[in-house]
Amino acid sequence: MLFRSWEQAPTATRGTGAGGGVDRWPGVARVADHVGVEHLLVTRHALVRRVLTEAETYRPDNALDAVTPMPVAALRTLAAHRFRLPPTLANNGGASHPGIRALVADALHPTRVAAQRDWLAALVRRRVAELDATLTTGAPVDLHAGLAADLPLLVLARLVELPDAPVAAVKDFARAALELFWAPLDTDRQQALAAEVGRFHRVLREFAATGGGLAASLRAAGHPPDVVVGALFFLLVAGQETTSQFLTLLMHRLTGEPAVLAGLRDGSVAVADVVEEGLRLEPPIVTWRRVAAVDTTLGGTAVPAGTSIVLWLARAGRDPAMVDSPDEFRPGQRGSRRHLAFGAGAHRCVGDQLARMEAATVVAEAAPLLAGVRVLRPPRYPDNLTFRMPDAFLVGR
């Protein structure tokens, strides 16, 4: 069974095999998921990278496939909202991909991202001061709600024209989508999630037809309405929910790393190095999928065409062949930046600079606060093939 093991996996591998610390996971392993579908799980950094970059052998077509097959009732609900996810970005191995990607990359250009830094820093500073004041009264605070949940969406809305919907509605839709497509579910839950995702899809469809900015550029380039909706759909989910999750994962990790926090405060540790080490050790996207396009072999294992391949990005970041101290948070250590948290190859994340800027800003502003708190309730993570989805992170002083 895949999912439940993600969180414990790094510690479960410790001390097994010759020499302690040796990985008990083989480079590739056949594993069955919760509905009995078999996947090829790839754990080694070099093999994960190979699959991500060999575009002719391994295709991205299954990237957004529902891991729990949808029952007819849920499919009907989605169809009633005219829900479709044609190949656009992450699931597009076709000829239209480079053009769509280039338009999205323009909207997220590093200079446009850098121009948001001061605005975000000021906002985070205000939030940190408010949280600090609350902590001083002896009350607990939720760092996920205060410093992670909405910030990436607020920044994204300044970079890309989005439908005029309340932040809470977008967050609910994005989390519903991550659950509907990547979680083990029963049929009642699928039905409820399909209704929620379908409702918002309708909002996106209307915006795609008339909206400006990226939507208008995609229309002007001749992309059909479904593609515009698909691109907006993916951007609204991937472009903010992942970074929210990462901010909470990183803050939680840092509360257990006092030496790193002290280094940040005295300037001996660089914020950028902390972010990279965080991405390596606590990636919000634990796995990503590809499908074999042809019969091939990987790590000595035969891989028939059509095999679903689950790339364990989080595990690859702890591959002892790549990094000196795989399980330790050591900013700047050899191999720290070679993680695959953003994927690799033709589909490598186009929001990486944005996510890095957001994380660096939050870490720089929140480090003094994090140094003085005690964890009251760590984040909880629901079962999910791919995303971490923390719920809350309660701390006190």
Residue with Cβ nearer ligand HEM (100 or 141): 100
Q: In angstroms, what is the minimal distance from the CB of 309 to ligand HEM?
A: 12
User: Does residue 89 belong to the site contacting ligand HEM (CB under 6 A)?
Assistant: yes
Q: In angstroms, what is the minimal distance from the CB of 48 to ligand HEM?
A: 10
Site string for ligand HEM, 310-339 (x = CB under 6 A): ------------------------------
Part in contact with ligand HEM (CB under 6 A); list of ranges 109-117, 198-206, 217-225, 242-250: 242-250
Of 120, 254, 285, 367, the one binding ligand HEM by CB under 6 A? 285
User: Does residue 163 belong to the site contacting ligand HEM (CB under 6 A)?
Assistant: no
Part in contact with ligand HEM (CB under 6 A); list of ranges 11-19, 174-182, 199-207, 238-246: 238-246
Residues in contact with ligand HEM, total (CB under 6 A)? 31
Q: In angstroms, what is the minimal distance from the CB of 88 to ligand HEM?
A: 8
Kindly report the three-state secondary structure assignment for every residue of the chain: CCCCHHHHHHHHCCCCCCCCCCCCCCCEEEEECCCCCEEEEECCHHHHHHHHHCCCCEECCCCCCCCCCCCHHHHHHHHHCCCCCCCCCCCCCCCCHHHHHHHHHHHCCHHHHHCCHHHHHHHHHHHHHHHHHHHHCCCCEEHHHHHCCCHHHHHHHHHCCCCCCCHHHHHHHHHHHHHHHHCCCCHHHHHHHHHHHHHHHHHHHHHHHHCCCHHHHHHHCCCCHHHHHHHHHHHHHHCCHHHHHHHHHHHHHHHCCHHHHHHHHHCCCCHHHHHHHHHHHCCCECEEEEEECCCEEECCEEECCCCEEEEEHHHHCCCCCCCCCCCCCCCCCCCHHHCCCCCCHHHCCCCHHHHHHHHHHHHHHHHHHHHCCEEEECCCCCCCCCECCCCCCEEEC
User: Does residue 377 belong to the site contacting ligand HEM (CB under 6 A)?
Assistant: no
Residue with Cβ nearer ligand HEM (74 or 341): 341
User: Does residue 360 belong to the site contacting ligand HEM (CB under 6 A)?
Assistant: no
Part in contact with ligand HEM (CB under 6 A); list of ranges 27-35, 174-182, 200-208, 347-355: 347-355
User: Does residue 141 belong to the site contacting ligand HEM (CB under 6 A)?
Assistant: no
User: Does residue 90 belong to the site contacting ligand HEM (CB under 6 A)?
Assistant: yes
Give residues 40-59 in contact with ligand HEM (rule: CB under 6 A): 52
Of 180, 238, 250, 367, the one binding ligand HEM by CB under 6 A? 238
Q: In angstroms, what is the minimal distance from the CB of 205 to ligand HEM?
A: 19
Cα(281)–Cα(130) distance, integer angstroms: 29
Number of Cα atoms under 13 Å in the Cβ half of residue 23: 19
Of 27, 343, 379, 390, the one binding ligand HEM by CB under 6 A? 343
Confirm if 393 and 144 have CB atoms less than 8 A apart. yes
- The token pair that represents 51 in the structure block: 């699959």
- The token pair that represents 195 in the structure block: 């209704």
Of 2, 153, 341, 362, the one binding ligand HEM by CB under 6 A? 341
User: Does residue 243 belong to the site contacting ligand HEM (CB under 6 A)?
Assistant: yes
Of 355, 367, 373, 385, the one binding ligand HEM by CB under 6 A? 355
Write the CB contacts of 90 (distance below 8 Å, at least 6 apart in sequence). Answer: 60, 63, 64, 234, 238, 347
Q: In angstroms, what is the minimal distance from the CB of 354 to ligand HEM?
A: 4
Cα(358)–Cα(148) distance, integer angstroms: 10
Q: In angstroms, what is the minimal distance from the CB of 228 to ligand HEM?
A: 14
Of 101, 205, 223, 339, the one binding ligand HEM by CB under 6 A? 101
Q: In angstroms, what is the minimal distance from the CB of 140 to ligand HEM?
A: 26
Binding region for ligand HEM (CB under 6 A)? 52, 60, 89-90, 101, 104, 108, 156, 234-235, 238-239, 242-243, 246, 283-285, 288, 341-345, 347-351, 354-355
